[in-house]
Amino acid sequence: MSPLDISDQEFALFQRLIYKLAGIHLSEAKKVLLVGRLGKRLKALQLASFGEYYRLLASGQHPDELQTMVDLLTTNETYFFREPKHFEFLRDEILLKYRDTVPFRIWSAASSTGEEAYTLAMLLAEYLPTNDWRVFGSDISTQVLAKARRGHYPLERNEGIPPAFLKKYCLKGVRSQAGTFLIAAALRARVEFQQINLTQPIDPAIGEFQAIFLRNVMIYFDLATKTKVIHHLLPRLMPGGHLFIGHSETLSGIATPLVMVRPTIYRKP
C-alpha cells in the first residue's frame, strides 16, 4: 500500500474523528475526497501513512493541525443569491415589515466563504436603508472565514448578483486586482464573522436574531446531530423570527416549536 492509500481501519478512525469534532458523517463514498484533501498534509508533514497522521491529530499536541484537518474536510461550495426564493421571501415578507423601525440582525450560520452573508447584507442595505442592521456569519472552518472577512472574490463568482447590486455594492478590481471584485467597505463594516461549531452549545453573548439562515449544512448530519444543532440555534432566534434551511433539507423527525410557513422556511411562535 502506498503512503496515499488508506485502509478501511484508518478511514474509520477519521470518520469517527470528524464526527466527534464537527458532527459530519463521512460516507464510504467520501473516501476518495478524504485521501485527496488530507494526502497533501501527509506530504507536507513527511508522514508515511494516514495512521501516522491520525496519531499526530489524536495526540492533542497539535491543535492547529487539527483545525487544518477540519478546514480541509468541511469546506463546502456556495455562491451569491443561492436558492433565490429564500431571498425573495426575506425581502417581501420580512424586511418590508421592519422598515424604518427596530434594529435588524440576521445570522448566516454556515457562511463558508461569505457569499450568503454578503447577499444578506446587500438586501438589508437596499430594503432597510435607515435601520441599524447587522449580519453575523459563522462557520467551523477558520480557513473559509478568513476569505469571508476579506470579501474579495474572483470576478466569475459574481454570477447571480443582480446588475444593480453589483454596481452599487461591489468594486471591480483594476490593474493588479483585475479579474476580481471586492464587497464595498460600507457593507463589510456591518458584517461580522466568527468561528462557531454548531454541534456545541452556543454562547448567548452572540445575541438574538430576527432570522437565521442554516442552509446546506444539515445534509452532512445524521438525525441526532441535526436535532442537537437546531436546539442550539433556537434560543438565538427571536419569537416571531424565521429559520431558513436548504431546499434539499428537512426538519422531519426533530421536535421543535417551529411552524412551517413555506417549505424550508419556519417561524418561531
Q: Is 37 a catalytic residue?
A: yes
Distance CA 53, CA 39 (A): 10
Instruction: Please report how the helices 63-74 and 50-58 are oriented relative to each other, as an axis angle in degrees rounded to 10.
Output: 120
Q: Which entry of 71, 105, 134, 139 is annotated as an active-site residue?
A: 139
- Give Cα 252 distance to the centre of its chain: 21
Cell of 167: 454596481
* Residue type, position 30, single letter: K
Q: What is the DSSP letter of 218?
A: G
Helix, strand counts (H, E) of the chain: 11, 10
SS3 assignment, position 79: coil
Cell of 93: 415578507
Q: What is the DSSP letter of 201?
A: P
Distance CA 259, CA 269 (A): 7
Which residues are designated catalytic? 37, 139
